[in-house]
Amino acid sequence: MATRDSVQHCLDHCEEAILSAQTEYDKASLQEHRNDEQFTQAQLQLEQAFMDLEKLMKSANEEQEDTLQRKKLKIQEMQNKMQVLRH
């Protein structure tokens, strides 16, 4: 079973990745010339956070799994927004 600390650490890491991605998304949507490196880095952070969540969900109890699933959906939403902006 996942510990409360490990779940909280993962959630914090995910939130940081989401906030970073949102910042880059906002910048990119306002500018014609995007900083592709930072944008791509934010996408990679989201992907890493997503994979970390998936691993942790395997050892989470039902309540933790629900919390992690909600965060996972937020990450996917941000990933989709960034992907659509790219095209």
pLDDT of residue 28: 86
**Three-class SS of residue 45?**
helix
Under 8 Å between Cβ of 22 and 55:
no
pLDDT of residue 34: 61
pLDDT of residue 2: 78
DSSP 22: H
pLDDT of residue 47: 97
Residue ranges of domains in the chain = 4-86
Residue 2's identity, in one-letter code, is A
Q: What's the pLDDT tens digit per position in 23-80?
A: 999 988 887 656 788 899 999 999 999 999 999 999 999 999 999 999 999 999 999 9
Task: Return the closest-CA partner of residue 82 out of 20, 16, 15, 33.
Answer: 20
